[in-house]
Amino acid sequence: MTSTSSKQPNALIRPDKDTFLSEENPFEAMMSRFDYAARCLNLDPGLYKILRNPEKQIIVSVPVPRDNGEIEVYTGYRVLYNTSRGPAKGGIRFDLNVSLDEVKALAAWMTWKCAVVNIPFGGAKGGVICDPGAMSPGEIERLTRRYTSAIIETLGPDSDVPAPDVNTNERVMAWIMDTYSMHKRHTVTAVVTGKPVEMGGSLGRREATGRGCMIVTREALRKLGMPIQGARVVVQGFGNVGSIAALLLQEQGARIVAVSDKSGALHNPAGLDVPDLLKWVREKKLLAGYPKAEAITNDQLFGLPCDVLLPAALENVITSKNAKDIQAKIICEGANGPTTANADKILEEKGVFVIPDILANAGGVTVSYFEWVQDRGGYFWEEDVVNQRLERIMVRSFEEVATMSAKHSVSMRVASYMLSIDRVAAVHRLRGLYA
């Protein structure tokens, strides 16, 4: 790694008192971490300006015929934050809370996430403001295809490669791939990742983010001298990431004492049976009503005594209001941006070991990279090969961030930003500025 600074502070560098202010604006909250890491690196002012601004922001109107014959016009976004290291990579979400600031923040996160695990992608993100729960499958398909055609000039295996995100899945990726391929007049499997395996998707992709969370949690427990056998784990969010992480951690010997979803939370200090929970959710769709645990509120969940807290839902769930109640020794951020910058300061003072999102949940984009490589090569790997290669990258990346943390006496979050910013900045120096 090309270092941008030889500065090694003697004590933990702390932000200026006004550094972390916003818990509402996701882009500024994320960039406050960037600003602090850039100062720790003594980043060149010119590079600072380049890296603090997205390369491209696209806003599109997406007209869609509803099943009742009416036309609805939705607003869609696609932000390419930085592509110096390779094609833009990032998910597409369908949600009522999508905003340009949120998409910019997520695109920046993807830039740092790809760099921290050292894969050759830049960062992007997209979204459409809509309520998919109130739409039929046909309406969602028409929305997907029209949105894809609206941003098609940015898409491509060498330029911008979407993936699933909130309220999108492999079916949506199949529609995007088909729409793009129809425009190009030939099949282009590498234009998206997270596709069905039958269409060029990778084995192990669905479990990859949760598996990555398990791996870095295991490494953090080892680093802190804590056995994984019997470790008490609380999982907030029981979707794909949270449920897979819970299942894999239980297989490693951990005790899952609480889980939650939008219907509420469940607690059993003796440990929950995760396979039984998964069976319940497959049948009932939600955790509510599960008989083998005590029902508690999501607020109570965050205050439970545990060794590991794994937030795996949406951003900004750990704030200055509830951070003081957290009793976990380790937080593994399975979601993007679950901890606000103000909460970071409280957790740091409490001595909580935080595995930051851009490292913790990077298993998904890592196996997306594997999928892209397999599609372009036309040769597909066995699942054990995918998992072994993911394991190597996640363990190596955890060690690199931990080394940076120790070298500069900073938190794991600041260290992960320093490592990723340094890698992106190094490429900008080598490429120079086209003007």
Q: Which residues are catalytic?
A: 125
Q: Which ranges in 88-200 belong to alpha helices (H)?
A: 100-116, 137-150, 170-184
Q: How far is CA 86 from CA 38, 101, 111, 145, 204, in A?
A: 22, 23, 10, 25, 23
Beta carbons within 8 Å of 24's beta carbon, 6+ residues apart? none
Ramachandran angles phi, psi of 310, nearest 5° = -120, 90
How far, in whole angstroms, is CA 48 from its chain's centroid?
23
Rounded CA separation 123/253 (Å):
35
What DSSP letter does each residue of 78-98 carry, written as one string? EEEEE-TTSSEEEEEEEETT-
Question: 77: part of which helix (H) or strand (E)?
Answer: strand 71-82
Q: Quick one: angle between helices 412-431 and 100-116, nearest 10? A: 80
Beta carbons within 8 Å of 201's beta carbon, 6+ residues apart? 170, 193, 194, 195, 371
Closest CA to 203 of 191, 214, 195: 195
* 255-261 and 160-164 strand pairing: unpaired
Rounded CA separation 46/36 (Å):
16
Closest CA to 236 of 273, 276, 206, 263: 263
Please, what is the Cα angle at 232 between 229 and 237, to 5 degrees? 125
CB 358 within 8 A of CB 330: no
